[in-house]
Amino acid sequence: MKSFLIGVASMLLLLSMLPSCAGNVPTPSLTSDADAIATIVAGTLSAIQSATPSPEPTATSTSELSYVLPRSLYYSAKDSNGKYQIYRLDRDGVTITQITFEQNDLRSFDISPTDGTIIYSTSDNTTGDNQLIAIDANSANRRVLVEAPTSEFFGTPVWSPNGQTLVFSQGNDLYLYSFSTGKSALLLAGSAAYYFTPELFSPDGRKLIVRNHPTPGAPEGAFPEIYDFASNIIIRISEWEGYPYPPTCLGNMTWITQDSFFCFYHSDGGMPMPGLLGVNANDGSIKILMVSKSPFQLVAAPHQDSAGNLIYLYGEHDGVYAQGKPYPTLSLVHSDADGITNRVMLRPETFRVRVAFWSPDERAIVILQCDELGRPSELSLVPVDPSMPVVTLLSDASSVSDTFRWGP
C-alpha cells in the first residue's frame, strides 16, 4: 500500500548530517508523601541542571527571577475578525504581541530553533489561495516560499533541528525545502489512497516521524511511521494485539532519545486507546508501559529524566467519554521507568488537559486547560516543584488553537 518516491538525493546527503481540567471522575490511586515529593523534585531539578548548561550571564542581563517563562511562547488564536493569527507571549508571562496579520486563515506554523524564523501556511477556501510563508521573529521580512493550487492545502511545516531544512506536506505529498538553495524537492509521494504529513524530527535530525492518512479517512486514524534519512526507508511500527498499528500511537508523540520516542494519549475511550508506549525508532518495536480498559489510564506530557524515571500527567476514567459527560482530569505524577512503580502525586491540583507540553528548561509543564466539554478555557504554567504556584498565563484561552511553539 505504501509506495513512495524519493526525489531528493542531494538533499538527503545534507540531511543525513543534520545535528526537535476538576470534574466527577475517580481520583487516581496515588500516594502523596511530602518528604518523598521533596526528594523527587530535588533529584529531578538536580538532574536537569547537570544535563542542561546554564546560559552565560551578561553584564546587562535582567535577573532571571523577573521572568515567568524560560523563553517566549508562540501560539495561534483568532483575531478580532475571527481569523487565526500567530501571537507571542513574552517571558514576563503578560506581554502579548500579534505577529501575523493575514487576511486568510492561518492553518499551522513552526519556529526555527536557531534564529526564530516562523514558517506558517494560510488558505482561503473561497479564492483557493494556499501559501507557505516565512516571517522573521520580529514580524518583518514576510515572504512567500511556496504557492499551491486550489486543491492542494499545505500541512504542518516542521523545522529540522539545525534550522536549515523544512519539511511540509502539499496535497498528498511530503516535501523538503532547503534554505540554502531556496528550492523544494519531493520526499514522499502519496496517492489517491493516502497522504503524508510530517510530525517530529528526531533530536539529531536523522529520522522523521510522519503520519500516513488513509483516504477517505479510516476509523483507525492517521498511522505513524518513521522515515530514516540515512537508509531512505520507511520504518513501520510493530503490530500489537491484532491492530496493524498500536492504537496509542494514533495519539501524541514525543522523542525520548534520538532512537526512541513515546506514544501517548489522554482522552478516554474510542480510538486511539489511551495509555503510554515506548517505540524503538530503529526497528519500530514497541514496549507497552500503560494500556488498559475500565479504568482507562490517561497519560499526557510524559518526560524521562536522566535517571530514566518518568514525570507525566496522569488520570483514570471508568467509562467512554460522551457528550455532556465531564471531561477527565489529570494530576502531575512521578514514577519509576515503567510508569507504574512508586507512582507519587507531585502536586495537589488536577487539570482538565486539552494540550500539555514541557518548558525548555524542563522545570514546568504548560497546560491548555479546557472546560467540562473539552473546549479550551485557560492557559497555565505548572511547575514541577509543588512549592511554586501555578501561574495563569491566559485567563481566557477560548479562541486559542492547540498549536504552541517555544521561541529559540
Q: What are the pLDDT digits (tens) for 34-73?
A: 555 455 455 544 544 444 433 443 444 444 457 999 999 9
pLDDT digits (tens, 9 = 90+) for 280-294: 999 999 998 988 777
Residue 340's pLDDT is 94
- Please tell me which residue, 4 or 152, carries the higher pLDDT value: 152
Is the pLDDT confidence value at 20 over 50?
no
Residue 125's pLDDT is 62
Q: What is the pTM of this model?
A: 0.83
| Mean pLDDT across 119-142 | 85
Residue 379: give the domain boundaries: 9-49+70-406
| Mean pLDDT across 232-239 | 88
Decide if 224 contacts 210 (C-beta within 8 A).
yes
The reply to whether 311 falls in a domain is: yes
Residue 306's pLDDT is 86
- Please tell me which residue, 101 or 325, carries the higher pLDDT value: 101
C-alpha separations of 68 from 65, 202, 242, 321 in Å: 8, 28, 47, 35
Task: Count CA atoms closer than 13 A to 368's CA, side-chain side.
Answer: 19
The reply to whether 220 falls in a domain is: yes
The reply to whether 1 falls in a domain is: no
Q: Which three cell numbers stand for residue 196?
A: 503524508
The reply to whether 4 falls in a domain is: no
| Mean pLDDT across 132-142 | 93
The reply to whether 63 falls in a domain is: no
Give the count of domains, the chain: 1
CATH number at residue 247: 2.120.10.30
The reply to whether 374 falls in a domain is: yes
- Percent of the chain with pLDDT strictly greater than 70: 75
CA 310 vs. chain centroid, Å, equals: 18
Q: pLDDT grade, residue 1 (50/70/90)?
A: very low
The reply to whether 57 falls in a domain is: no
CA 105 vs. chain centroid, Å, equals: 21
Distance separating alpha carbons of residues 183 and 259, to the nearest angstrom: 29
pLDDT digits (tens, 9 = 90+) for 252-265: 999 999 999 999 98
The reply to whether 2 falls in a domain is: no
Cβ–Cβ contacts within 10 Å for residue 277, how many?
26
CA 89 vs. chain centroid, Å, equals: 18
Average confidence score pLDDT of the chain? 81
| Mean pLDDT across 153-171 | 89
